[in-house]
Amino acid sequence: MGLGVPTTTGMRRRSGGQLALPLVGGWGGKRPGAGRKRVAARASPPHRPRARHRKRWPVHVTLRAREGVPSLRSERVFPFVRGGLAAAHKVAFRIIHFSVQSDHVHLVVEADGMEPLIRGIQGLAVRCAKAVNRAARRRGSVWSHRYHSRALRNPTETRRGLAYVLLNFRKHLRAAPSVDPRSSGAWFGGWRTPTQPPRDPCPVVAPKTWLAAVGWRRAGGRLAFDEHPSGDDAGAATRRRRPCRGWRRRRAPSGARGAPTSG
């Protein structure tokens, strides 16, 4: 064997302990201000799977415009937005109410399933974005993030949703009690004070679900012009469910009252 070649008997065994590394401060770990900074002033809806949809539920949908997009209520842009909404109806997807604010759009829609709901909202978002760009003579995206949706599952939620959408201009513009001219309220037949519908073609379709057609009136009757939409989203006040009417507390037998329990 040549010189300089190590042998197993001549090699020294190393210890199996792990070496400690010095910690460098300032990087890694949880700390105030860490993480990706928010770009938009309003947080985007979380990217989690959409809640299941049932055919009998109307849905409240909100689309919010990016900063720099002209007011959607302006005389130049609103007719294009209304035309885009009127052309977005499908066999399995229907827009039954809407209101257009300066930087967002509220809708109440119906869909025959989860797939028609998603595809219908995506289609109308694209159609309205093209209409806004055409009216404003601009290019680029219009909506700031994915749409927000909430199912209206009972008469109370549905009535609150209708009031929130049709009277939303009273919340943002502090408007007097009346019909919003930038909404479908002129064609709505559920006002407490009857109104004369305009001669223009109706941009929405009649509701087919029981909740949106009749059921919502059981939660307070027709809508009044002086109602003010609540600050939270539609249906937030109905998250606390009442106990079932048929539920009764079980009472112990009369002979067992006050008797000590065994065990």
**So where are the chain's domains?**
59-233
> Using the 8-state DSSP alphabet, how is residue 191 labeled?
B
What pLDDT, on a 0 to 100 scale, did the predictor assign at position 75?
A: 96
**What architecture (CATH level 2) is domain 59-233?**
2-Layer Sandwich (3.30)
Residue 109 has pLDDT above 70, yes or no: yes
What pLDDT, on a 0 to 100 scale, did the predictor assign at position 52?
A: 85
Whether 97 and 160 have beta carbons less than 8 Å apart is answered as no
Which of 131-135, 173-177, 254-258 holds the top average pLDDT? 131-135
> CA-CA distance, 107 to 162, in Å (whole number)?
9
Structure tokens at 89: 């109806």
Closest CA to 152 of 234, 257, 41, 258: 234
Task: Over range 209-230, report the average pLDDT.
Answer: 93
Residue 56 has pLDDT above 60, yes or no: yes
> CA-CA distance, 193 to 201, in Å (whole number)?
22
- Alpha-helix runs per DSSP H in 167-216: 168-173, 210-213
